[in-house]
Amino acid sequence: MDQDRVLIFDTTLRDGEQSPGASMTGEEKLRIAKALEKLKVDVIEAGFAIASPGDFEAVKAIADNIKDSTVCSLARAVEADIERAAEALAGANSGRIHTFIATSPIHMQHKLRLEPNQVLEQAVRAVKHARNLCGDVEFSCEDAGRSEIDFLCRIIEAAIAAGARTINIPDTVGYSIPHQFGETIRQIIERVPNSDQAIFSVHCHNDLGLAVANSLAAVCAGARQVECTINGLGERAGNAALEEIVMAIKTREDILGVHTGIVTENILSASRLVSGITGFPVQPNKAIVGANAFAHESGIHQDGVIKHRETYEIMSAQSVGWHTNRLSLGKLSGRNAFRNRLDELGIQLPGDAELNAAFSRFKQLADKKHEIFDEDLQALVSDTLTEAVEHLKLVYLDVTSRTGETPIARVTLTADGVEHKAESEGSGPVDATFKAIEQVVQSNTVLQLYSVNAITQGTDSQGEVTVRLERAGRIVNGNGADTDIIVASAKAYINALNLIQAGALKAHPQEAGV
Ligand code: KIV
Ligand code: ZN
């Protein structure tokens, strides 16, 4: 093992999905997993297999399909969780069970109601059981950031002796301060007698906005795995952002003296994919992947960059995937060129029927939109795959919206092939459209989020709409893309309703049956 290599453990699909409101279908998780594999992340935490049948299936599908990254499932330190994780990972090229138990006084006393020795015994039993089922086991001390260091050293030594090969020290509630967290990691590595038999990992939450700083302090102190998420998604204020960790390590290799194996040019497309699927927009001033991250507004800065880019840029926009959204295809491109470009983007359609459907959508789009970019293809495939399993379909939409008049939407839908028509007024064209759809469907849901993002630049860009619907505390996200944002909105609403019909309404992952 290269001593200076920091392993990137991505938990977008597990901790990221714990962001309030982020929910992904199994197919979407697989698409994100493929983007993570293209980024060359070392470990993909695919989910919490025991949380629900849907989570199990998603972990299994990712384990069965991902070949170049290790695929991991979370499991509490109990036999049933560990066995379910092992079952889901059975088809993996390289699988890992990640088992955890809380180690802080507050968690042990109030949540687990166990004495420290009982926690230690349970951890050892869990790691041994996991090792019997899987050669690669990671052990996490939940709430390590508020745990006592003596107890951490004892439980970690025991977990390594029981067979854990990665020890994760999470700052579960984002309480740590960089120099202090780094010192904790240094002391643990020094004091645990068998620490040389494990890789030390950190998993920092962002409650004080310090997740990336704490993770880097831990790397300086000897941690060689960082757990992070695309766009910093995750429970509450989120996790350390993968793109920030990776680019800090790359840009300041002179200070940090370590490197990762990430293909940084694929960062932006992964960020956009996750943002589109979860409906969590990226703030414009977000480091690395925000729209303004490489924009120079002031005249002095612009002048400097024109004369010599490094005057105001510490890394190039291209190095993280900006300006590489190649013009993919045009109106005259044929089916083979279309299939080849999808292959290059790592998109595999299940069969010829789906390829034909996607190709015919591509031709329709090319009639409306002069230039078709990779992002357009991603959205188009996403729409095609979801439409294939749709119970409700949009047949026709007519929206009238004039200054000073109330907008009216007339919609024709089919529900399992039977046609329905409805008409409604609304406060705006989108509101009228959703109300007309609701007249047909009466879904008894509440709209929690509506967001529109331009997929590419220019006024001919497709708008990508995300709609989040809630029913009895459970949520679902629907997506739709079109050059007409009212049509995109209708598609996203109908997509959410179809997902509900397919049983995709989800509770918060940690409340889902565990
Ligand atoms: O934040 C945390 O402690 C976690 C663990 C399960 C690793 O997510
Ligand atoms: Zn976490």
For residues 320 and 330, state if they share a domain. Answer: no
Q: How far is CA 367 from the centre of its chain?
A: 32
pLDDT digits (tens, 9 = 90+) for 195-216: 999 999 999 999 999 999 999 9
The span from the CA of 429 to the CA of 401, in Å, is 6
pLDDT at 513: 45
- pLDDT at residue 514 tops 50: no
The residue range of the domain holding 365 is: 326-386
272-284 average pLDDT score: 86
For residues 306 and 334, state if they share a domain. Answer: no
Q: Which residues of 279-308 are buried (b: 16+ CB within 10 A; e: fewer)?
A: bbbbeeebebbbbebbebeeeeeeebeeee
pLDDT digits (tens, 9 = 90+) for 237-260: 999 999 999 999 999 999 999 999
The span from the CA of 489 to the CA of 469, in Å, is 13
The span from the CA of 395 to the CA of 413, in Å, is 5
- pLDDT at residue 445 tops 70: yes
- Residue 91 domain-assigned (yes or no): yes
Q: How confident is the model at residue 389 (pLDDT cuts 50, 70, 90)?
A: low
pLDDT at 227: 98
Mutate to test the pocket of ligand 1, among 172, 175, 236 (most ligand atoms within 8 A of CB): 172
For the CA of 173, the nearest atom of ligand 1: 1
- pLDDT winner (highest mean) among 15-24, 190-199, 327-336: 190-199
**Contacts for 463-467: CB closer than 8 Å, 24+ residues apart:** 463/488, 464/276, 464/379, 464/488, 465/489, 465/491, 465/492, 466/276, 466/278, 466/279, 466/492, 467/279, 467/492, 467/493, 467/495, 467/496
Tokens of 325: 């959204």
Q: How confident is the model at residue 388 (pLDDT cuts 50, 70, 90)?
A: low
For residues 148 and 175, state if they share a domain. Answer: yes
pLDDT at 247: 98
pLDDT digits (tens, 9 = 90+) for 117-175: 999 999 999 999 999 999 999 999 999 999 999 999 999 999 999 999 999 999 999 99
Mutate to test the pocket of ligand 1, among 74, 104, 112, 140 (most ligand atoms within 8 A of CB): 140
Domain count, the chain: 4
Q: How confident is the model at residue 336 (pLDDT cuts 50, 70, 90)?
A: confident
State whether the beta carbon of 140 lies less than 6 angstroms from ligand 1.
yes
pLDDT at 297: 67
98-123 average pLDDT score: 98
Alpha carbon distances (Å) from 328 to 50, 146, 151, 337, 373 = 41, 50, 56, 9, 5
- Tell how far the Cα of 99 is from the centroid of ligand 2, in angstroms: 13
For all residues of the chain together, what is the average pLDDT? 91
Nearest to 436 by CA among 400, 383, 390: 400
The span from the CA of 451 to the CA of 429, in Å, is 14
For the CA of 144, the nearest atom of ligand 1: 3
- Residue 286 domain-assigned (yes or no): no
The span from the CA of 454 to the CA of 360, in Å, is 22
For residues 375 and 397, state if they share a domain. Answer: no
Q: How confident is the model at residue 512 (pLDDT cuts 50, 70, 90)?
A: very low
pLDDT digits (tens, 9 = 90+) for 404-443: 999 999 999 999 889 999 999 999 999 999 999 999 999 9
3-state secondary structure 429-498: HHHHHHHHHHHHHCCCCEEEEEEEEECCCCCCCCEEEEEEEEECCEEEEEEEEECCHHHHHHHHHHHHHH
Nearest listed ligand to the Cα of residue 173:
1
For residues 489 and 414, state if they share a domain. Answer: yes
- Residue 196 domain-assigned (yes or no): yes
State whether the beta carbon of 172 lies less than 6 angstroms from ligand 1.
yes
State whether the beta carbon of 15 lies less than 6 angstroms from ligand 1.
yes
- Residue 124 domain-assigned (yes or no): yes
For residues 355 and 367, state if they share a domain. Answer: yes
For the CA of 18, the nearest atom of ligand 1: 8
- Tell how far the Cα of 14 is from the centroid of ligand 1, in angstroms: 10
pLDDT digits (tens, 9 = 90+) for 473-511: 888 888 888 999 999 999 999 999 998 887 777 765 445
- pLDDT at residue 327 tops 60: no
